[in-house]
Chains A and B, each alone.
Chain A
Amino acid sequence: METKTYKAPLSHQLNPGHSACAGCGMIVAARLLTDAIGPNSIMANATGCSEVTTTQYPMTSFKLPWIHSLFENPACLATGIAAALKKQGKEDINVVAVGGDGATFDIGIVHLSGMWERGDNVLYVCYDNEAYQNTGYQTSGSTPLDAFTTTAPAGKNSFGNPTRKKDMIKIALAHHVPYVATASVGYPIDFINKIKKSLTVKGPKYLQVYVPCVPGWGSEPKDTMTIAKLAVQTGYYPIVEYIDGQLTGKMKVNKKEPIENFLKLQKRFKHLFKPGAEGELKKWQELCDNNINEFGLM
């Protein structure tokens, strides 16, 4: 058979050659985000995989203006950029702050809260991979119940992380943020639409996107999109959208998948399939059922 070698036109706002793992969910979200906001944007990035994989000095994968400061700082940086642009009369430029769940749920929550309180015209996107994956899989405020992390290992006396995931959506809503939404990288069109829609809203915007992490979750690289879809179809990760505090959109669960189908693809939950862990599986199923009832997903 005749073979022809094809070369990608490198037309995205995020170039390849970055050092994200094969099958990384975060980098898919980063590319979809940069393409959706377009070149007329400035991005402020927190510390984390999204920073270290894309910007190894003296190179960068980004084609749009991009800045990194300390772990907790994307919200502050974005506030300053938005203020400077306002002073210069350049308010047509999108200001976007991004951080992982560690930077958003824990380390940067003070500054994020301040940004929301001041009502700065910034889109904040959180790549939610449910732990400090970049530094070696430590528990964060976003880590779900029973997940194995290096700071909450599962063993004879433990099922892994003993606490539930922090509800950042409710925290954002409590700040009266005009646009609050969740998305999953398994549904890229929904994610892109939400980014574009959020940019039409003036004031702070919070978008939390679910991104599987291959080494941290112990999943197969090819299963990244499957896991991101199952998280939604089990009811574990409800995809919702709030405008001015009102629930304006939700992704329906077509056919409720048993939670085991989602958990068994990830080694961080493998201890839940050993004898004696039935109670934990029941807790997980209850959590999913509660989400489905709370948001009316079926």
Chain B
Amino acid sequence: MKILLTAKPGTTSLVKTGNWRESHYPEIDHEKCIGCGQCELACPEGICFKTGEQNSKGKFFYEKDLDYCKGCGICAEVCPVKAITMREEKK
């Protein structure tokens, strides 16, 4: 029996869900970030990630991808050092 793939792996990445954001987007303060990765674990879109860049304290800070961010604000809630602020979007 031959089984055919009906969908190519990971193809929903073509859908940029960033336009779902209603009013706020997260802004990450690189200097405050301690690189703990709590935002990465909690992000429903899985688009908080370690950048590989260091701040002045030598911490590898995190960033988000606004192409997909739906603006839920979970990252700002779970951040233990309040490095993430939800800012009003200028449209």
Contacts and interface: CB of A to CB of B under 8 A. Distances in A.
Interface stretch (A9-17, A155-163, A169-177, A250-258): A9-17
B4 interface: no
B12 to A, nearest CB: 3
Nearest to B68: A16
B47 A16 contact: yes
B58 interface: no
A286 interface: no
B42 A225 contact: yes
Interface string B56-84: 00000001111110111110111000000
B44 A24 contact: yes
Interface residues of B, number: 38
Contact of A58 (B11, B15, B45, B64): B11
Interface in B38-52: 41-49, 51
Given A6-B63, A57-B7, A17 B14 contact: yes
B41 A16 contact: no
Interface of B: 6-17, 20, 41-49, 51, 63-68, 70-74, 76-78, 86
Interface of A: 5-12, 14-25, 27-28, 31-32, 54-64, 188-189, 221-226
Given A6-B49, A16-B45, A188-B41, 16 more contacts: A6-B51, A7-B65, A8-B47, A8-B67, A10-B10, A11-B49, A16-B65, A18-B45, A19-B15, A24-B44, A25-B44, A56-B12, A60-B7, A63-B9, A63-B10, A225-B78
